Amino acid sequence: MRHLMNQDVMAVVLAGGKGSRLEPLTRDRAKPAVPFGGSYRIIDFTLSNCLNSGIRKTLMLTQYKTTSLDRHVNLGWEKYFKRELGEFMDIVPPQQRIDENWYQGTADAVYQNIYTIERERPKYVVILAGDHIYKMDYMRLVRTHVENQADLTISTLQVPTTKAARTFGVLEVNTENRVIGFAEKPVVPKEIPLQPGLCLASMGIYVFSADFLYEKLCEDAVEINSRHDFGGDIIPSIIDNHRVFAHPFIDENHKSESYWRDVGTLDAYFDANMDLIEIDPLLNLYDEKWIIWTHHPNCPPPKFVFAQEERCGQATNSIVCDGSIISGGNVTQSILGHRVRVNSYAQVEQCILFSDVEIGRRAKIHRTIIDNGVHVPSGMEIGFDKDLDRARGFFVTENGITVVSGNTYQL
């Protein structure tokens, strides 16, 4: 294998999706900017993977509702890169450099920024989604790509066929992991030989040899009937005549099972957050070998006050971020962001409270997600009567999670 240097690799993070299934949390922010686990944003996991993998040249392509995402990345991520050494983490909005359209698909998003990528002269381009939760060393993927002298390498997961149907791109591979078949979101996914009920799913993570990528993007751009999508158009068009390989996902989380989550629905998002407060959660946020980096606001430590029998400020089986004050209220199995205040006699159970939320005295909140800056009045109950929650203008999910957005109802 020829010598591989990290400087030969550029990452392109696709962070422009609408995230409509996460509304109302994505009503005013892009999906990658949605808070996760109290201290983090969803985008932090992909960017941390880049940083921990040693990839020092990263473009993040944005499109919809970018203000919150731009602010978070500018505050928290630029400090990790030395531009004087050729390192960068640049946010690139649609520039209409090539045509007057917004991004028409994943391939078109990269194509419209082909000039910016070419200018850095990478040998390999890693294409990533900015809205998944996982830990992965992308340089392992690149090394597999180089060893196979591949044109394209696709990172893959073994997924139950029932889960993959209409959701994932599904691959067929030979004994050398060379891709010999691909179907984008099939109704009936093809099973892995000798593993009934499982299929090989694309993670939407690709490594292209740079010159090959440029060639295929330019060819696709002039195809009138193309959707200009990697999974829908580019991959099916090249597997027969080019060297396309699969790379099995290697999890840097190092738990009993691989951890990869698409928190694309409110229920999936709620469940992934609730897993974090378990005694031994599947996702280890306290791993010093694979740190999840982020921007931490300048806040004092969390504080718990009052210790009377009925007025005791406490939090159990919970995550409480800096700046929060539990002032005589009770918090259980919940995640509290920065600068949250829970006032006396209030009860918060199985909830996710974003930053700057205030829970009034004697309020009771159950199985609820509350967006930034919402103040819940004294004595109010949320999450107990779903019909009442809907009547107030709150959103209620299929699994009965109430979501309170600051712009849906004035509390």
Average pLDDT, the chain: 92
For residues 145 and 321, give the distance between their C-alpha atoms in angstroms, rounded to a whole number. 40
Contacting residues for 222 by C-beta, under 8 A, at least 6 apart: none
What is the token pair recorded at 166? 């209409």
User: What separation in angstroms does the CA of 75 have from each of 4, 35, 41, 55, 89?
Assistant: 31, 15, 13, 20, 12
- Predicted confidence pLDDT, tens digits, the chain (411 residues): 455 778 899 999 998 777 788 999 999 899 999 999 999 999 999 999 999 999 999 999 998 888 889 999 998 898 888 888 888 999 988 766 555 667 788 999 999 999 999 999 999 999 999 999 999 999 999 999 999 999 999 999 999 999 999 999 999 999 999 999 999 999 999 999 989 999 999 999 999 999 999 999 999 998 988 899 999 899 999 999 999 999 999 999 988 889 999 998 999 999 999 999 999 999 999 999 999 999 999 999 999 999 998 899 999 999 999 999 999 999 999 999 999 999 999 999 999 999 999 999 999 999 999 999 999 999 999 999 999 999 999 999 999 999 999 765 456
Evaluate if pTM is beyond 0.85: yes
**Short-list 82, 21, 119, CA closest to 403:** 21
Residues in the chain: 411
Position 19 scores a pLDDT of 75
pLDDT tens-digit map of 51-97: 999 999 999 999 888 888 999 999 889 888 888 888 899 998 876 65
Q: Which tens digits make up the pLDDT trace of 293-320?
A: 999 999 999 999 999 988 999 999 999 9
Compute the half-sphere exposure of residue 178: CA atoms within 13 Å on the CB side of its CA.
15
**pLDDT tens digits for 242-278?**
999 999 999 999 888 899 999 989 999 999 999 999 9
- Closest Cα to residue 58, out of 106, 109, 7? 7
CA dihedral of 95, 97, 100, 102, whole degrees rounded to 10: -40
- HSE-up of 254 (CA within 13 Å, CB side)? 8
Six-digit token string for 192? 């892995």
Element housing 199 (H / E)? strand 198-209
- Write the DSSP symbol of residue 20: G
Percent of the chain residues topping a pLDDT of 90: 79
Residue 104's pLDDT is 81
pLDDT at 101: 67
- From the number of C-beta atoms within 10 Å of its C-beta (0-12, 13-18, 19+), residue 110 rates as buried
Q: Supply 267's token pair.
A: 């229920």
CA distance 326 to 313: 5
Q: How far apart are CA 19 and CA 265, in angstroms?
A: 9
- Taking the C-alpha atoms of residue 76 and residue 71, their distance in angstroms, rounded to an integer, is 8
d(CA 405, CA 411): 10
